[in-house]
Amino acid sequence: MDIRELGRLDLNLLVALEALIEEGSVSRAAERLFITQSAMSKTLGRLRELFDDPLFVRMGAGMAPTPRAEQLARELPRVLLAVQDMIAPLTFDPATYEGEFNLLVQGHMGLWLMPMLVNRLVEKAPNIRLSALTRVDKPFEALKNGKLDFILQAELHEYPADLRLTTLGYAPPILLARKGHPLEGRQLTWEEILVFPHVQVVIDELADIHFLTGRKSSFLHHMASAVPELVTDQLLTAIQVVRNSDYLFPAPPLFLEQADMGMELVALPLPEGEEVNLKYVIVNHQRVNTSAAHDFLYQEILNVIDCFRVKYDLPTLAKLREERHLEY
């Protein structure tokens, strides 16, 4: 497009296009933007002229996007966010800032991190709204297009080059059992562990977790060879089964941070000599690295992690990075 043609572009058209794409209906898009259906129909006509494409075709009671509209749908959130950032005030005051952040938080992390984070934000930035989800389709793409702001998770094997990772710490997986389990209070072998039934939680993102293992570790081998007697995608289901049976649950660390869990469940020690850890990270797209609001929330998350680490006599994140010579 010739730069002179940008004079034809009204930003309101892009806002209307986003509503049409997401609503799939002229009437619902009009209602969302508080304009008449007739006005939205005229706007759609202008959009069709601007992009030289029908954009939508009728299908039943709604509209189906054309390939051109689908391509615009992928680019539009990034463009609108860039415009929003461009016109946003340069000063940032947490006490008066109003905005929403979308987080993808691996289920077990949310159990202990979110209560602490919410309490800090209530004091420092009471008008910030958080959405903390445990599942999002194509999360890396969501970071890129602005539908997600941060991901907190156990580190995966690979990440796109345009994402920033920050280490939050290391922790070994645990073997969860009920209090009073026959294996409680003993130094265990894999043979003893595998005698008992266990439950496996199947969550998509857990399949790509990068386990850090020592050369002599057999944790992954035994976990892969064991056949679970119960498979579920619900963490609470797994916990309830373990509470009320002799089932074992190879669980992420920090589960027992929930007080009500610690009263009924115990973490059994892995067999002697096992070296296995999970590395936890916070992930964001580089597009928000210069956003004062995003930096505020990022720092608050790191502060929560440091409070937790100090509570358990662990080195602060700064000290951890120094000791381990971490790149991120």
140-151 pLDDT tens trace: 999 998 899 999
- List C-alpha distances in Å: 4 to 8, 9, 52, 189: 8, 10, 17, 74
pLDDT of residue 283: 96
Helices and strands (DSSP H and E) totals, the chain: 12, 13
Q: Which of 75, 74, 77, 94 lies closest to 85 in space, CA to CA?
A: 77
Which residues make up the CATH 3.40.190.10 domain(s) of the chain?
99-166+281-324, 171-277
SS3 for 124-177 is HCCCEEEEEECCCCCHHHHHHHCCCCEEEEECECCCCCCEEEEEEEEECCEEEE
- pLDDT one-digit tens code per residue, 181-230: 999 988 888 888 888 998 887 765 555 666 555 555 666 666 666 667 88
Question: Does residue 259 carry a pLDDT above 50?
Answer: no
**Cβ-based neighbours of 253, under 8 Å, separated by 6 or more:** 171, 172, 173, 174, 278
pLDDT of residue 263: 65
Helix or strand or coil: residue 217?
Answer: coil
Min mean pLDDT across 28-42, 184-198, 205-219, 272-286 is at 205-219
pLDDT of residue 191: 87
Helix or strand or coil: residue 200?
Answer: strand
Highest mean pLDDT among 8-12, 13-17, 319-323: 13-17
Question: Does residue 3 carry a pLDDT above 70?
Answer: no
Residue 200 CA to its chain's centroid (Å): 21
- Mean pLDDT across the chain, nearest whole number? 84
* CA atoms within a 13 Å half-sphere pointing along the CA-CB vector of 54: 8
Which one has a higher pLDDT value, 221 or 45?
45
pLDDT of residue 214: 55
Place of tokens 């759609």: 44
Q: If pLDDT is split at 50, 70 and 90, which confidence band does 109 have?
A: confident
Taking residue 27's Cβ as centre, other Cβ atoms within 10 Å add up to: 13
Q: Are 247 and 237 in contact (CB under 8 A)?
A: no
> Would you state the CATH architecture of domain 171-277?
3-Layer(aba) Sandwich (3.40)
Place of tokens 């946003």: 88
Q: Which of the four CATH numbers 3.90.226.10, 2.60.120.260, 3.10.450.750, 3.40.190.10 does domain 99-166+281-324 have?
A: 3.40.190.10
Which class for 160: exposed (0-12), middle (13-18), buried (19 or more C-beta within 10 A)? exposed
Which one has a higher pLDDT value, 191 or 171?
191
Q: What is the largest CA-CA distance in the chain?
A: 78
pLDDT of residue 121: 95
pLDDT of residue 301: 96
- pLDDT one-digit tens code per residue, 110-130: 878 899 999 999 999 999 999
Confirm or reject CATH 1.10.10.10 for domain 3-87, answering yes or no: yes
Which residues make up the CATH 1.10.10.10 domain(s) of the chain?
3-87
Q: If pLDDT is split at 50, 70 and 90, which confidence band does 169 have?
A: confident
